[in-house]
Amino acid sequence: MKTEMTLCDEDASAAIAAVRAELVKRGKTGSVAVTDPHGEVIAVLRVFGAALNSMTVATNKAFTAARLRRASVELGRAVRHAETGYDVAYFGDPRYVGFAGGLPVLKDGVVVGAVGVSGLSQAEDDELAAIGVAAILQR
């Protein structure tokens, strides 16, 4: 029998609080999602004023990072390199995205979940996702 490490609701709450605080500090809006290692949602927050689709995109970024065990932007890089990459449709699930802002959470080298952020520039989404991951790892 195998035991699986996974994030819990308290981890998700810590990540969401940290990202929300940074959004408020920057005077911006957006959405943040936290998933388990399978990419299934634990918690999502859409800050007031954020675009409606940012919630879905944040969730999909976290899904991608958890399922592929790497930053969501890496899938986008693979697709953009026609000679070495492949169409995202190859994965057979429309939740896979190749945008920055989805990062896996690693504990002892094992993916235990992911954080996805959407609603800002890709660089800011990635920065905020990293803040969420750090909040989880500091618990």
Q: pLDDT, tens digit, for every residue of 116-131?
A: 999 999 999 999 999 9
Q: 106: helix, coil or strand?
A: strand
pLDDT given at position 6: 97
Q: What is the pLDDT of residues 43-54, one digit of tens each?
A: 999 999 999 999
pLDDT given at position 94: 86
Distances (CA, A) of 102 to 22, 83, 94, 119: 17, 25, 15, 12
- Is 30 part of a structural domain of the chain? yes
Q: Please check the confidence at residue 37 and state whether its pLDDT lies above 70.
A: yes
Full residue range of the structural domain in which residue 15 is found: 9-137
User: What total of structural domains would you count in the chain?
Assistant: 1
Which CATH number belongs to the domain containing residue 107 in this structure?
Answer: 3.30.450.150
Please, is 60 exposed, middle or buried when counting C-beta atoms within 10 Å of its C-beta (0-12, 13-18, 19+)?
buried
> How high does pLDDT run on average in the chain?
92
Beta bridge partners of 33: 44, 116
Overall residue count recorded for the chain in this entry: 139
- Is 1 part of a structural domain of the chain? no
Q: What is the pLDDT of residues 75-99, one digit of tens each?
A: 877 766 655 555 666 677 889 998 9
CA atoms within 13 A on the CB side of 38: 5
H-helix segments, the chain: 9-26, 52-68, 72-80, 122-137
